[in-house]
Structure 1
Amino acid sequence: LLMEKYQNAVSPDLMSLFVSPPPPAQEASLTNGAPVETPSPASTSSLFNRLQLDDDPEADVRDPYTETAETRDLFVTVDDPKKHVSTMETYITYRVSTKTSRVEFDLPEYCVRRRYQDFDWLRMKLEDSQPTHLIPPLPEKFVMKGVVDRFSEEFVETRMKALDKFLKRVADHPVLSFNPHLNAFLTAKDLNKRQGLALLTKVGESVKHVAGGYKLRPRPAEFCAMGEYLDTFNQKLGTIDRIAQRILKEQSEYLTELREYGTVYSSWAASEEELRRPLEGVGGCVATCCGALDDLGDGMSQDFLPVLREYVLYVESMKNVLRKRDQSQAEYEGRLEAAILRKQEDRTPMPAEVEKCQDKVECFNADLKADWERWQSNKRQDFKLLLTGMADKNIRHYEKCQAAWESLLTVLQDKQAEDKTHETN
């Protein structure tokens, strides 16, 4: 009887956890988190379909957060890195510029300087205050000592681009952009980083207390599909990253040898007067190929690899939100099951804390679905730009090499004609 009374207040899907067994598991793979039936595991050729890199006319329709430039009212930019040296530490700050027409800002424009730990503070505050939303990742703080110079121009430039992308993603989000911690980050001269406690820690402890010893029911199919997609996507990204790193290392070694190779021809030309022009031509071609290869390597290390790494971190962020959703579901199910098992009189209303937990789960589900669609839309755009950019860089590399060697053919043909003229005379 008690279960019949609760059926009017609890969604059928959630009540089915207690009145009927879960449906049998089915093999499924993902296309942007939607479960579809596939007869076999994903192959290499199907990766591009999984990433949805092709033009999708319905992509913008499905994205609940699609905005045009005309509707945006908050613009942020991270640039102008500066090195600061003191007796205690050396660090880099970045200029954060803001333009807005929102009423919660006192001025239309702001310009402040922030260091990496300030961005890290902002992200932690967003995670604490917006636990149901996907928070964009930051570039990793630590680098291997002796491998990467964190004060080098290349490293600072790469980090600045990543911080700029992080802040733009937050500012374009329809919920995160209104967070008061973001307002403080963009406007305050000095951030008060000590205020507030780790809300998420408290929530986590509450869930452990309520759902301790309770075995979580299976995730709904759509969230299981998200988890499977993230695992597959992360695996593919890891493989691509490892191969790209190896290619970059081999290119660097080849470039070193190629430069020595060109130098030999240039020095040889000094002792061979009759062959001077052809030998100098070969040396010049090799030098041109070295420059083209150097540019290609820079593009891979500064543009290609950072995007791969960003999405590896994005996967971890999304998995973290899924775990929080599971904790919220566990809390609700634990409270609901405890209420059902208690012997209560007829007409006893559902405990308020159960309804509150149910609302929390539904809110979590709605926010996660919306952020998932937004993330998929951003991913499609990012990987289109990434792969087309990589293709363009490779085309330019080979065009430069081809043009250099074709110019050498002209030199060799002129030399051959000149030699025939001398023989005739």
Structure 2
Amino acid sequence: MCIVSALRVWTLANRLEFASNTLIMALRARLLYDFEGDPSAGELVLTEGEVVTIIRQDLGDGWWEGIAANGASGLFPETYVELLDLGSNPAPVAAAAAPPVASAAIPDIHVDSGAGDENWDDWDDDVEDSGPPAAAAVPAAASAIPVASSDPNNFNLTSPSRRGSTTISRTGTIRKNINRFSSFVKSGGEAFVIGSVSLKIQLKSSDKLAIGLDTLHCPSWQFRGDHYTCAISEPTKKSKYKGIKSFTAYQVSTSRGVASVSRRFKHFDWLHDRLVEKFTMLVVPPLPDKQYSGRYGEEFIEKRREKLEIWLNRVARHPVISQCAVLDHFLTSGDSEKEWKAGKRKAEKDTVVGSAFFLALESVPSLSLENSDQEVENFGRFSRHMDETLLSLKDKLTNHCEKVSGPFKREFQKLGTSLHSLGTCFESDQKQSHSPDLTKAIIHTGQTYSNIALAYEEQPKNDLIPLIDGVKEYVGLLSSFPDIVQVHKGAVGKVQECEKLVEEGKTSDQEVADVKGRTNAVSAVALAEINHFQRERVADFKQLMTHFLKEQIAFHQSIISKLTESLQNYDQVTTEY
């Protein structure tokens, strides 16, 4: 019994020691912004730079529970903090305020590699490539980069410093949006507009952009590169690891004259992710849908090749995206793994992402805030209406496509079979002296309608399916605009908030002028992107409808031709004896 008691005492002591060590190693986080919580609702009141001990991270909806430096416990938004290394934690809080041992345990964090329907093993095995990009490790607002300049229309940053160094500055009495999950915040738009974060880098001349006014006096991107087109060809099924893993490689070439390169779908997927991360205020078209089964069939491979080519040319037509370094790397880097990974690492370390995009603006036109807000609001309504209309049109076209290749085809087949039966009936006439030519004509007519049925089955791929694909593409493009509209609306809201603060004597006229200057940049970018979309829309739907009608006319003309040929057979039928 003494041995058992001693063992229990030893076990209890070890548990207490483990609990004490777990408390000491509890997760800590530092506040990136002031958080004026509501204590009556169980929220903490925290200041920028304060360190809190995390109790729970599984509350959901972006909220964590923690203990402040003064011993108070409560809730705070997870996007307001950055986690500290365990070795850099300050002394633990008092044991009286300590959470249960199980709550202080470090959670298991899972990182989704985003492999999609292709194998990413040759990238994930590389230690330097593992994990999410650096920009995703901090809240979106903290990665946003506003212009640190007293001139609200000056978007040049020439201060030399170590690449990628950041500073966080206070912005007087301008409050941050409490909804840290809004598009305005996640895109970095809020941080840019209020000037809370700055990045000190030396911009390259190739990074600089400008927005001017077109002939319609609309903000428009000033294109500074060469126009080019892309082609994707020679889809080839390949394998690795002695056939254990298979994939399809495509040859990608451009009209710029550089050598073609081999790319897999995972390369396109990576490029898309980088563009979305880099250009939060631009429309990056979504990739074609992924498919997990049957992806090596010839029909699927050809359809994917066609859609990838359309997607890549859409990207290459954008006056800003077409000139970025990450796209150039995708289009020109050699097929060697070493060369690809070198460019991949460089692209993933790019600090000019998100709202840092505004730093590259050399000049923007001076716009009326009221007019800009109205134009963006009008386009928001138009885009929603267009989205609803396209979704309805897609359903109608899809339904019609199914009818054409299904019931319509079957009806013509039935008609052709019945007419053919009539001809064979006449052919059974024993004398065969009264209607041989009529018999041939009727049998020919039956065969004509059977051929028309086959034509209906094949026709959708020539007219309806291209139109459906075009409609689907634009539904995808329109999905980017709600966020762009919300970012602009949030920027305008900050201007209105600052104007109220001036009336209350809580901020200066200069600070409001700076916010208005940065909001002007947001307006110019939003309207330039809207203008680009509208121009593309006119050109694309002209091409889509022209192609559709030409194919419809050709189809019906071919039917007329078949029927005319069948009609001519009846001219040989003699009715007089």
TM-score normalised by structure 1 residue count: 0.66
Pairing 1:19-38 to 2, within 5 Å after superposition: none
Equivalent in the alignment of 1:40: none
- Shift of residue 97 of structure 1? 0.6
Does residue 389 (structure 1) correspond to residue 389 (structure 2)? The answer is: no
CA 1:61–1:113: 2 relative to 1, 3 Å: farther
CA 1:203–1:175: 2 relative to 1, 3 Å: closer
- Structure with bigger helix share is 1
- CA distance in 2 between partners of 1:365 and 1:234 (Å): 23
- Shift of residue 376 of structure 1? 0.8
Equivalent in the alignment of 1:304: 467
Equivalent in the alignment of 1:159: 304
Q: 2:332 aligns with which of 187, 198, 207?
A: 187
Q: 2:253 aligns with which of 97, 118, 131?
A: 97
Q: 2:537 aligns with which of 363, 376, 379?
A: 379
The AA in structure 2 aligned to 1:179 is C
* Higher relative contact order (Cα pairs below 8 Å, separated by 6+ residues): 1
Equivalent in the alignment of 1:241: 394
Does residue 131 (structure 1) correspond to residue 276 (structure 2)? The answer is: no
- CA distance in 2 between partners of 1:295 and 1:322 (Å): 42
CA 1:406–1:63: 2 relative to 1, 3 Å: farther
Deviations 1:380-402 (A, max 9, x none): 11111111222122212221222
TM-score normalised by structure 2 residue count: 0.50
The AA in structure 2 aligned to 1:167 is L
Pairing 1:307-318 to 2, within 5 Å after superposition: 307-318=470-481
Please say which structure displays the higher CA radius of gyration.
2
CA 1:59–1:384: 2 relative to 1, 3 Å: farther
- CA distance in 2 between partners of 1:374 and 1:202 (Å): 20
**Please, which runs of 5 or more residues in structure 2 have no aligned partner?**
1-149, 154-173, 175-213, 357-369, 428-435
Equivalent in the alignment of 1:277: 440
- Whether the 8 Å CA contact 1:325–1:364 is kept in 2: the answer is yes
- Whether the 8 Å CA contact 1:95–1:111 is kept in 2: the answer is yes
- CA distance in 1 between partners of 2:217 and 2:565 (Å): 51
Equivalent in the alignment of 2:234: 80
Equivalent in the alignment of 1:365: 523
Equivalent in the alignment of 1:255: 409
CA 1:201–1:9: 2 relative to 1, 3 Å: closer
Q: Secondary structure at the match of 2:565?
A: helix
CA 1:388–1:201: 2 relative to 1, 3 Å: closer
Does residue 399 (structure 1) correspond to residue 557 (structure 2)? The answer is: yes
Equivalent in the alignment of 1:226: 379
Q: Secondary structure at the match of 1:110?
A: coil
Equivalent in the alignment of 2:189: none
- CA distance in 1 between partners of 2:284 and 2:379 (Å): 16
**Please, which runs of 5 or more residues in structure 1 have no aligned partner?**
1-7, 12-17, 19-57, 101-107, 205-216
Deviations 1:105-149 (A, max 9, x none): xxx513112223322221221222222322233322348x6xxx5
- Whether the 8 Å CA contact 2:219–2:524 is kept in 1: the answer is no
CA 1:285–1:234: 2 relative to 1, 3 Å: same
Q: Secondary structure at the match of 1:121?
A: helix
- CA distance in 1 between partners of 2:489 and 2:279 (Å): 16
Question: What is the aligned-residue identity percentage?
Answer: 20
- CA distance in 1 between partners of 2:557 and 2:222 (Å): 38
Q: Secondary structure at the match of 2:248?
A: strand
Does residue 411 (structure 1) correspond to residue 556 (structure 2)? The answer is: no
Q: Secondary structure at the match of 1:81?
A: strand
CA 1:64–1:324: 2 relative to 1, 3 Å: closer
CA 1:137–1:331: 2 relative to 1, 3 Å: farther
- Shift of residue 73 of structure 1? 4.8
CA 1:75–1:300: 2 relative to 1, 3 Å: closer
The AA in structure 1 aligned to 2:262 is R
- CA distance in 2 between partners of 1:234 and 1:389 (Å): 22
Pairing 1:312-331 to 2, within 5 Å after superposition: 312-329=475-492
Please tell me the root mean square deviation across aligned C-alpha atoms, in Å.
4.0
